[in-house]
Structure formats: structure tokens, C-alpha cells
Structure 1
Amino acid sequence: MSDRYTVISADCHAGADLLDYKPYVERRHHEAFDAWAATYVNPYADLLADTADKNWNSERRLAELEDDGIVAEVVFPNTIPPFFPSASLMAPAPTAEEFEQRWAGLRAHNRWLADFCAAAPGRRAGVFQILLNDVDEAVKEIRWAADAGLRGGLLLPGTPPGSGLPELYASTYDPIWAVCAELDVPVNHHAGSASPPLGDEPAARAVFMVETTWFSHRALWHLIFGGAFRRHPDLKLVLTEQGSGWIPGVLDMLDYYHGRLVAAATKASTAESKFGAGLAAAMGKGPSEVWRDNCFVGASFMRPHEVPLRDRIGLDKIMWGSDYPHDEGTHPYSREGLRIAYAGLPREEIAAMVGGNAARVYGFDLAYLDGIAAKVGPTVEEIAEPLGTPPADATSPVFARGGSVRVW
């Protein structure tokens, strides 16, 4: 047994430099791409800084991740896809032409990502993008992505209030769940894509921070109550960068409502009976059983107060992530982030949460990665040592005062 951990970050981000998307855009859209690129104003400071190339500089990423003890990564999008006015996939597309261009932009990103992952064989699982407005096109793109080797799976957009899209529990999306189950494509729902617009009032950003994870959690109960897992028992759902401490309580709540509504449906004279009508047959298993069999959590920079809940969450469900290259991520202090969360835990449990589970969900070759980790991975002895004072310049919430208090 190696004296080092094989660390796979289940939450990293990447994307092409804006103009580098052009070769991946269909030629018929090149003129429109030039016009879009000439007027696009990037709203994100980190994508304008000198360090922005962390998103697309393959050699730099490999070096910085290895320095941080990480040997492989699940790669979510980060830069703006062509033809979008903002990062949101829910941005309105008022005309059919604009909608067609948005699809062309997402396909360009996906094809760039396939090449980016191929530049580091076995070390990147790319997460590809779709739109939900056209299910047939989405299914085609899922099949293309699976053939192209994008093992990170599908990034599921949210359906926030006001989007005009059917809710995620709608049968409209069943072809998407079917093809993902057929091809063993994980369905990832990342925080940030499901929140409605909140306007420009001073409180808006704070309210967004408070609510964004809740809006992202909605995908869990939508798919459970919608019966997606009954119809497609091999479907895998991964909830990423939404924390993990909420899961036991939410599962208790969902189990409560499930049991209450199913029971009420047998009592035709009650006011609640209509709410549970047909629910048992449509859902199949209860919420906790669905979680046990089908769901996982990308527990980005897992906080110490979440760790004591690991058995209730499921040790085989938790996948640690560094959130590289975001400044709320743990780079360049991922070893310290692991220590502050996991010091004192059994070695086998740490190995599962920092790499083994992600290898299983996303299809990484763990034996291959073990060879790399034997040179760059954090040592078992190192992670076993509790962290005293966090690095003074660390920016990750895992080191935040109050967020790093372990409750046993």
C-alpha cells in the first residue's frame, strides 16, 4: 500500500480563451462569432487577470495541480461560451437565430474540451454542456460527447423560476435521462446555474450567496419525485459545489413528505389525498433509497463541520474537490485543506473521499493515477497531522473562521 493519497479533484473549471473558440465553431457561424467577440465585455475579473490562462494552459494546470498534490480532475466549464451575453445558460435568446448560435457556442466549447482532456490522457474528465430547450438536440450532443470521451458527463442546467422551461420533474426530459443511463453518463448539477435573476439592489449578491445552493438542491427532489430513477435505475446524479452537510436533513425531510403523501393517497376523504395520488407508483423507491443507489456529492473543499456527517451522507458518495482555479478554491493550499477536514480519520475513509469515489463515478483508472500520486500525492502522515493556523493568505471558505470548527 502506497504511503501517499491519490487525490482526484471532483470540482475544477476550465474553458478556452475567447478567440480560441473560433476554430471549434461551425464555419457558417464565423462571421457572427467575429461580431459577437468584438463587442463582448467579460464581467469576470478572474478571466481578465494575468492568471486567466489557468483555464486553458494545459501544462500550467498539470504543474500547479501536481504541486498541490492533485493528480486528476473533473473539469466543469468556466469561460463564457460563444454567443452568450453572460455566463448563464438561461440568458434569453429572443430569436431562433440566436438560439441556434447558442447551441453552436456550446458545441464549440464541448469540442474544445474534448481536445483539452485529450492533452492529458487519463487525468481529465470533461463535463460537457447542453441546453434544455431542445431535447432532441440535447440527446444528439450527449451521444457525441460520450463517443468523444468526455467522461465527466453532462452539466444539467437549472430551470429557475421565470426561465420559461418545464421543471426538471417534467416527462419532457425523459429522453435525456434515458440516454445518460444507457451510456453511463453522469448527470452533474453544479451550484450557480439554477438561481433566478435577483436584480442590482445592494442586497442581491448576499441573497444570491444564501439562496444559490438551495436552488441547486431542487434538482434532487425534482428528479426523485418525478420518477426519473424508477424509469432509469442506472441514472447517476452528482450534486457539486453545494456543500454536503445539508444532505442528511434534506433526505429526512423528503422521506417524511414521501411517506406522508403516499399514506394520504390511501385515504380518499382527506384533504391531502390528492397530493399523494399516484406518487408511489410514479416514484418507486423512497428518497433515501434513491440517494443510496443513484446519487453522489461533489463536496468541494469539504468543511470540518460536515465531516462527522459522512456516514449519514454515505462514505461511498463523497468526492472532495479543490475548485481550481477559483479563488474560493483550495489551491495552492489543498494539502492544508485536506488536513483541516480529514486529519485523524481512518486512512481508508480518506482515500475514498479524496479519490477512490471519483475514480468509480467518472471512470478514472485508479491504478494509473496511483503511479503519479506515488511521486506528487500528499503523504498519509502529512494528512494525519491536524492543521493549526491556516495559511494567512488562503482564500478558501474551508479556512474561514467558524467554517472550520469540527463538531463530533
Structure 2
Amino acid sequence: MPERLISADSHVKMTHEQVKHHLPAGLHAAYDEASGSYEATMRRGAGAANRAGATQRKDERIAASNAVFNRPSYWDPVERLKDMDADGVEVEVLYSEVSAFRYLSNVKGGFSESVQAFNRALHDFAQTDPKRLIVSYQIPIHDIDLAVAEVKRVAALGAKSLQLPVFPSELGQPDYYDRRYDPLFALIEETGLPICCHIGLKTTLSELAERDPTPNKGIMVPVTPLMTAEAFGMWIMGGPLERFPRLKVVFVEPGVAWVAWWLETVDDMVKRQGYKFPEIKELPSHYFHRNIYLTFIDESLGLHRMRDVIGVDNIMWSTDFPHPVTSWPNSRKIVEDQFTGIPDDERARMLSGNATRVWNL
């Protein structure tokens, strides 16, 4: 049998019209106002900086990227399955390009209805083949009672994956160590579903993007995944993983090699430097290895030289379809090149075994 490939990070295009299809007509104007205001904000600052850099890439790179983004499989589930078959990928864990938790709370008089409508649109996409298309339902954090209700609702629909914001402070909410989240985390722990945090451009980096003199914002871009260290700290040293030891937290697209340094550093802070983390009983690395998972795309250093420190059971492969770095449609060849010299059992865990366990596939 061919080697199983499960992408722990792929993407789906979700349109506002798809969401409004599930929203009462009386709320469409409020939804448009909230989403439009959010998109206008994104066109300024960080969003504008990203686009300015992207337009200055080599012409052939732009053409190749656009060709994938324009494939119907980006939004059509039937076509997506065909492209997965062509690429030799059995299952994809999917994240919407729209960060709905950044604006749904601003839909006047329709926050709850908008959350449900957004997740119903995601559910529609997955229903073509729920065993292969694993959508990540977005859970808002502005209202914990609403969040708890939505987790219960999507779990009853057969959800396999939940997505939470990486940085609650960007939404004006307390960080995840705050006890307000305990009812939500207790429920998620009970369901056995993973919490997925897909990295993006942290809004505080927009200032760096504006100062970055390079054509493609090449100073700012590699800083973006490193900001995940802040989220690691809140989850680990802040105490949520002490209180909820069975939670599974997936960080999507943070890169992996730098994490080995971070783990060594935070443990040394306790063992040698005398730092106190009163909310946890074990070394920080204990909670990372027990509770946290990372996805990667194409990273030789982390895969070949750091995987033992990071933990083979904590690393998961992905195609990142249809983003410019995607391995599609050559994933099997790229995997062969990436995993040369890695033992078969470790290879199988990173390519499919870990994802099977994390998403209960």
C-alpha cells in the first residue's frame, strides 16, 4: 500500500456569501458592515505591507502562486478531492482563510447567529467527504458561554478540529491562562478535540513591516513564526496545561527548528537561573511534549537535526495548499527528498500517525 500522507495544514476559501446563506436575511447588512470594516482595517497596516511585498516577487513565482490559488479546488470540495488524489494525500486538515473571530463579534444583534452560519458553511464543504476533509470550526472567545455552546453544537455535528485565535490580546481578550477560559477548556478536554492555533501576522508586527526596507518584507517575515513563543509561554507557564492535562494544542505553521532552542532555554531558566513559574509543577518542556503539536512544510534543519529535541511525536507534515510554499502537486517526491535518512517508524508518525492520533481519525 502507498505510504499514508495526511496534511495537518491546508486551506479552504470561504466567502461571505457562503456564510450569509446560513444567516437570516435581516442580519446580512450587519454582517456586511462588520466584515467590511475588518477588511478595510486589514487593507491598511499589516495587510497592505504583505501585499506590497508580494507584488515585488519574481514574475514566475507570482504566476505559479496564482495558478494554485485560482484552482477550483480552493473552494470546491469535489475538485479538492481530485487534487488530493493527484497529489497522493489521503486527508487534509483545513483552515479557512477568513479569520472570522476577528469580526463576528461586531455583527450587531447577530453574534451567535453569525458564528453558527460561518461554521455551517465550513461544515457544508466537509460533507462531501467528512473522512478526508477535516474542517477546523472557528470558536469565538469574546463570550465564553457562546463558545461553550458552539463547541457542543459542532461536536454534535461530528467535528474533528477546533480553531481558536493565537493571540487573545489582539481581540481585546485576556490571555489563555485566565480562569475565564476554564469552562471552555474543560469541555474541549472532555470532547477530545484538538485546539488549533494557526499563526498569522501578529498585528504588532505591522510596525516592523512598515520599517522593513527590503522589497519582500524579508526582515519581518521570519520574525512572524517566532512570535509563537509568546503563545507557548501563555499555554505552558501560564498554567492551562497544568489544569487541563489532556488538552491537545496544535500550532499551525510556526516552523520547528527554533522550538528546540526555546525548550532548552525555558527549562534552563528553571533549573539553573532560578525563574519561578508558580502555575506549573513540571519543567516547561514536559507540557510541550505532552500537549503541544507543530506542523511544518519544508524545513530540513528542524526535521533532520532537531526532531529528537522537539519530539518526533509532536511534529506533523503538511502541504499548506494552496499557499506559495505548497508541495502540491509533487508532495510524494518532496516527501521522499525531505525524509531521506529518517527511520521508517519516525517518518510514518510525522507523515500520518501523529495526525491520526491528534484528530482522532
Q: Please tell me the TM-score bracket, short chain as reference.
A: 0.7 to 0.9
Using a 3 Å threshold, how does the CA distance of structure 1 residues 10 and 97 change in structure 2: closer, same or farther? closer
2:247 is the alignment partner of 1:238? no
Q: Distance in 1 between matches of 2:111 and 2:225?
A: 26
Q: Distance in 1 between matches of 2:204 and 2:111?
A: 20
Quote the residue 2:14 is aligned against. Answer: 16
The one of 129, 137, 144 equivalent to 2:138 is: 129
Using a 3 Å threshold, how does the CA distance of structure 1 residues 148 and 98 change in structure 2: closer, same or farther? same
Quote the residue 2:121 is aligned against. Answer: 112
1:356-392 deviations in Å (ceiling 9; x for gaps): 110111011xxxxxxxxxxxxxxxxxxxxxxxxxxxx
Q: Distance in 2 between matches of 1:198 and 1:143?
A: 36
1:320-359 deviations in Å (ceiling 9; x for gaps): 0000111221112212321221023222222111111101
Using a 3 Å threshold, how does the CA distance of structure 1 residues 122 and 294 change in structure 2: closer, same or farther? same
Quote the residue 2:329 is aligned against. Answer: 332
Quote the residue 1:286 is aligned against. Answer: 283
Q: Which runs of 5+ in 2 are unaligned?
A: 52-64
Indicate the larger mover: 114-123 or 162-171.
162-171
Given that residues 22 and 30 in structure 1 are in contact (C-alpha distance below 8 angstroms), is that contact kept between their aligned partners in structure 2?
A: yes
Quote the residue 1:62 is aligned against. Answer: 81
2:228 is the alignment partner of 1:216? yes
Q: Which runs of 5+ in 1 are unaligned?
A: 82-88, 265-275, 365-408
Q: Distance in 2 between matches of 1:239 and 1:35?
A: 31
Using a 3 Å threshold, how does the CA distance of structure 1 residues 176 and 38 change in structure 2: closer, same or farther? closer
Q: Distance in 2 between matches of 1:203 and 1:25?
A: 41
The one of 353, 356, 381 equivalent to 2:353 is: 356
Q: CA RMSD in A?
A: 3.0
Quote the residue 2:4 is aligned against. Answer: 6
Q: Distance in 1 between matches of 2:26 and 2:166?
A: 26
For 1:83-94, what aligned pairs fall within 5 Å after superposition? 89-90=101-102
Q: Distance in 2 between matches of 1:331 and 1:72?
A: 14
Given that residues 23 and 113 in structure 2 are in contact (C-alpha distance below 8 angstroms), is that contact kept between their aligned partners in structure 1?
A: yes
Q: Per the alignment, in what secondary structure is the counterpart of residue 209 of structure 1?
A: coil
Q: Distance in 1 between matches of 2:254 and 2:106?
A: 34
For 1:179-328, what aligned pairs fall within 5 Å after superposition? 179-192=187-200, 194-196=202-204, 198-199=206-207, 201=210, 203=212, 205-259=217-271, 263=274, 276=276, 279-280=277-278, 282-299=279-296, 301-308=297-304, 309-328=306-325
Using a 3 Å threshold, how does the CA distance of structure 1 residues 138 and 352 change in structure 2: closer, same or farther? same
Residue type at the aligned position of 1:307: L
Given that residues 15 and 78 in structure 1 are in contact (C-alpha distance below 8 angstroms), is that contact kept between their aligned partners in structure 2?
A: yes
The one of 139, 154, 164 equivalent to 1:155 is: 164
1:202 deviates by: 5.6
Q: Distance in 2 between matches of 1:109 and 1:136?
A: 18
Q: Distance in 2 between matches of 1:33 and 1:164?
A: 20
Quote the residue 1:373 is aligned against. Answer: none
Aligned residues: 335
Q: Per the alignment, in what secondary structure is the counterpart of residue 222 of structure 2?
A: helix
